[in-house]
Structure 1
Amino acid sequence: MSPPQHQQQPPAPTTTVFVGTLIHSTGLATLEIIAPGVLGVDSNGRISFVEKLRHSGESEGDDGVEDERLLRELLTRVGAEGVEIRRLPSHSFLIPGLIDTHVHAPQYAYTGTGYTLPLLDWLTTYTFPSERKFSSLMHAQTIYPKAVARSLRCGTTTAAWYGTLHLPATKVLAETCKSLGQRAFVGKVCMDRNGGEGYVEPSASDSLETTKEFINAVQSLNADTVQPILTPRFAVSCSSELMKGLAQLASQHALRIQTHCSENPAECSFIRDLFPDSRDYVSVYHDHGLLTNRTVLAHCVHLSDAETTLLSETQAGISHCPVSNFALSSGVCNVRRLLDANIKVGLGTDVAGGWSMSVVEAMRSALVASKVVGFTQRDALLALSKIPKSVVEDEGPVLYHDQPHRPLTVPEVFYLATLGGARVLNIAETVGNFIPGKEFDAVIVDLDAPETTTSEIDEARRPVTVFEHDTVTTMFEKWVFLGDDRNVAGVWVKGRRVV
């Protein structure tokens, strides 16, 4: 007889144990370093336990014998004897998998080109002609495995992918994510206007029908790590009929939604012309039923206070894409303002608007962008201080903040890249940090990679150099600012090693 539904099943046995430095976020500014730590993974790919091997003040000893004794005692206590033990090298650490909340798979082929153009010109010159090529299934089968493999190689365990408007090609993207083992939200792009010559769907009804087919196709893959996500490209390229139809699909199937918003001033101006009855850009999505707590809006650089309030009220998430914002001269997003408004924020690479598939690159660019916001506010205040008070009063209220800007910190951008991204995609109960019961999505970062000889010239191939004075904290900070895919020594998704 089957057990009652409320009766919990016995926990799955632990099969693998990682021993070494563990680093994860438990909150926006809370970086937890467990060194040395012990993490168990069960046969279902879930984290079974996380323990600290030694307490503060306890030394390892010269030969590590005491640590081995403590490890054996710990494994006996948690019932994990006879398991595979993976010991991390001294200059390495285990982190949760990185989460890319906004990336365009078909654009991977021309990453790193065209950054002299602003957004709308860049789309018509590079993006739409490139995406038209995915009418060829062979082209999709060539490009998509390279894009997903590159993303995984950079340590991205979860990605929110944009495909194209082509149904067969976007099926290939979903199948590729499944076969390569990446956790993914895959979207068939919906656009029935303003797509350039030859790159729009015939009608809103045609777009909705092919979207339904795509949803069924992804669900038939029977892969719980690959899910469909509704993808109206942005309001510029979608009619009201199409957006309302997608909102109905989202409600019927409890689906996530991804789109773009307030990326570029010219785009924002175009939106005002296209939707004169909506108060602002964010309201366009809200007025069409697309703004929910399962919505991911990329960029959101140019938001009014009213738009920020609406995003906070609806609990929609924002994908901050600083590399792309710099590359296409779109502007600099004030992420601190969004976080202070209790808005969910994650990081996106936005390839190929961004020049790198690495979320680490997005982390360091987010730090730079936040400093730029501070410089801008400081300079504005300095300029304002030189204006006579009578002139300021005549001009009305001051638009600049009188409180010092607080730039983002290293722990905060790491949160955005992991737990913050998980919250934006509504998977924080499943992944994002090393809380027991969550699925094991993780990356081993090895600062001694790539392996070298003892030659100083050969050692210079490493992106990060560790010195005797470095602590775990400084090694982690060096990785954020200097690290790249060469430091990725292993990637796991749901307990399965995929890199």
Structure 2
Amino acid sequence: MAADKKNTVFYGTFIHSKKLDELEYLHNTAVFVDSNGKILAVERDCDLDNIATTLFPKLGWQAGNVATEKIKDGQFFFPGFIDTHLHASQYPNVGIFGKSTLLDWLNRYTFPLEASLADPAKARAVYTRCIRKTLSHGTTCAAYYATVDVPSTNLLADLCAASGQRALVGRVCMDQLSPAWYRDESPEASVAATRASIAHIRGIDPAMEIVRPVITPRFAPSCSAPLLRMLGELARETGLPVQTHISENVGEIALVKELFPPALTGAADESYAGVYDAFGLLTDKTILAHAVHLSEGEAELIRERGAKVSHCPCSNSAITSGAARVRWLIEKGVVCGLGTDMSGGYSPSVLEAARLAALVSRHVAMGGDEGAKLSVEEVLYLATRGGAEVVGLEKKVGGFEVGKEWDAQLVALGEVDVDGTVKGVEAGEAEDGNVDVFGWESWEERVAKWLFNGDDRNTRKVWVKGRLVHERK
């Protein structure tokens, strides 16, 4: 926040997930956020005109140091979205995947772009745009993959800290199954570079309030057994989170089985999840992207270890990897969130990921599992509270309870006037996107329309830890 930080009263309608299948609607409500971005009180049916005398004294606030953010009727506050898996370094390639499947796509499109970000000017342009774009879509926290280059990774962390976006930033580790010009020279070199990046990120945010380092083996096939073992040891030593990919497509799974037989890993279980577990990389701080083709045994192992899953419906469809069974995972007790997975995914929007999660679940249902369908409430839970748990921030963000931090977005939908025009447009205001509200819709219906038709035009303001980090003029 600015040097003259103030306490703030946010007033209007607040919508957040109460539990997996239920949204809570708080109308005429005031949320009191202190100058450090923490929610101190939530008052329903609040008399805004008298709070200075009735509520400020209880909080120890002085009226002269309090700002008020009162929103219009029909607008609402919603928790910031949490993107649990995306590649900042691939942002220029969104929508560019041709007819490729995963392994071909990496060599043709991904590795050349990532390697080119060793150029600091190019990296700055790409990362700056990626951060701005995700913030504009309401993403208040992102789990980022950078590149193998330490300065490039450190720059991404610097830019996240400067912009105010919460982030997990990982230097990508890979010492095999990639071009010689884009890989780590050895397991030792990979770990040394990772330590350097971790030290830098801890240096810019020692308390890890906004930016945190994350240990990032790209995926098992791109890492030798010695590297995976050393990264597992680093995870134990530092207590840091781990992010990687798992079971994205059948070709990749076959490759893992070929590269990591039990004789090499020392594990009785030769599954993909078993490989990570054998090397100490399957922990309660591990984020596993995709998880499309997990076996029953793998799902149980993931649950036992407390690892989490980032569901990436956009890229799973775009690269024809498959349809993840999210309901099945949830019922197994596996915590799930949503990831945009740019650039396998084509959109920086977690709202788009949520709508696609709903649609993909219907494709799973059409395959014979009627109970697989995810509701509006459920996919919005995954986009907020579920994502918060995936990245280890469930005690800090994801809802509007007292004690949580103010990571939020202000959402405005287009209100249609009696003559069929959108209110305010003729007065010079920007039209509020693709969602038209006629006035007779219930709040549940408005949220559903936002989910299936909304975009960044509906996101008017975004805050992280009380700091305004994006505003749509």
Q: TM over 0.5: same fold?
A: yes
Task: Map 1:471-486; keep pairs closer than 5 Å.
Answer: 471-486=442-457
CA 1:203–1:77: 2 relative to 1, 3 Å = same
Equivalent residue for 1:445?
A: 411
Q: What is the deviation of 1:452? A: 6.9
Given candidates 433, 443, 450, the residue that maps to 2:399 is 433
CA contact (8 A) 2:432 2:458 kept: no
Equivalent residue for 2:159?
A: 176
CA contact (8 A) 1:452 1:459 kept: no
1:292 aligns with 2:283: yes
> 1:91 & 1:247 partners in 2: Cα distance?
49
> 2:376 & 2:201 partners in 1: Cα distance?
37
Q: What is the deviation of 1:224? A: 2.3
Count of matched residue positions in the alignment of Structure 1 and Structure 2: 450
1:218 aligns with 2:210: no
CA contact (8 A) 1:320 1:348 kept: yes
Task: Map 1:149-188; keep pairs closer than 5 Å.
Answer: 149-188=132-171
Equivalent residue for 2:266?
A: none
CA contact (8 A) 2:318 2:345 kept: yes
1:258 aligns with 2:230: no
TM-score, structure 2 normalization: 0.91
1:464 aligns with 2:435: yes
Q: What is the deviation of 1:460? A: 7.2
What is the SS of the residue equivalent to 2:315?
A: helix
CA contact (8 A) 2:328 2:372 kept: no
Equivalent residue for 2:265?
A: none
> 1:68 & 1:15 partners in 2: Cα distance?
15
Most deviating of 189-198 and 256-265: 189-198
1:367 aligns with 2:358: yes
CA 1:203–1:459: 2 relative to 1, 3 Å = closer
CA contact (8 A) 2:413 2:432 kept: no
Q: Deviations over 1:463-491 (max 9, x none)?
A: 11111202222111111111100011111
Equivalent residue for 1:322?
A: 313
CA 1:15–1:308: 2 relative to 1, 3 Å = same
Task: Map 1:106-145; keep pairs closer than 5 Å.
Answer: 106-145=89-128
Equivalent residue for 2:271?
A: 280
Q: Which amino acid aligns with 1:123?
A: L
CA contact (8 A) 1:14 1:48 kept: no
Equivalent residue for 1:489?
A: 460
> 2:90 & 2:187 partners in 1: Cα distance?
24
Equivalent residue for 1:41?
A: 33
Gaps of 5+ in 2: 263-268, 417-421
Q: Which amino acid aligns with 2:293?
A: H
What is the SS of the residue equivalent to 2:368?
A: helix
Equivalent residue for 1:75?
A: 55
1:25 aligns with 2:17: yes
Q: Which amino acid aligns with 2:19?
A: G
Identity of aligned residues (%): 41
> 2:388 & 2:116 partners in 1: Cα distance?
32
Q: What is the deviation of 1:38? A: 1.1
1:343 aligns with 2:348: no
Equivalent residue for 1:385?
A: none
Q: Which amino acid aligns with 1:53?
A: D
Q: What is the deviation of 1:406? A: 3.9
Q: Which amino acid aligns with 2:438?
A: F
> 1:140 & 1:212 partners in 2: Cα distance?
21
TM-score, structure 1 normalization: 0.86
> 2:218 & 2:158 partners in 1: Cα distance?
21
Q: Which amino acid aligns with 1:40?
A: F
CA contact (8 A) 1:449 1:462 kept: no
Equivalent residue for 1:353?
A: 344
The CA RMSD over aligned residues, in Å, is 2.2
> 1:256 & 1:70 partners in 2: Cα distance?
46
Which of these two proteins has the greater Rg computed from alpha carbons?
1
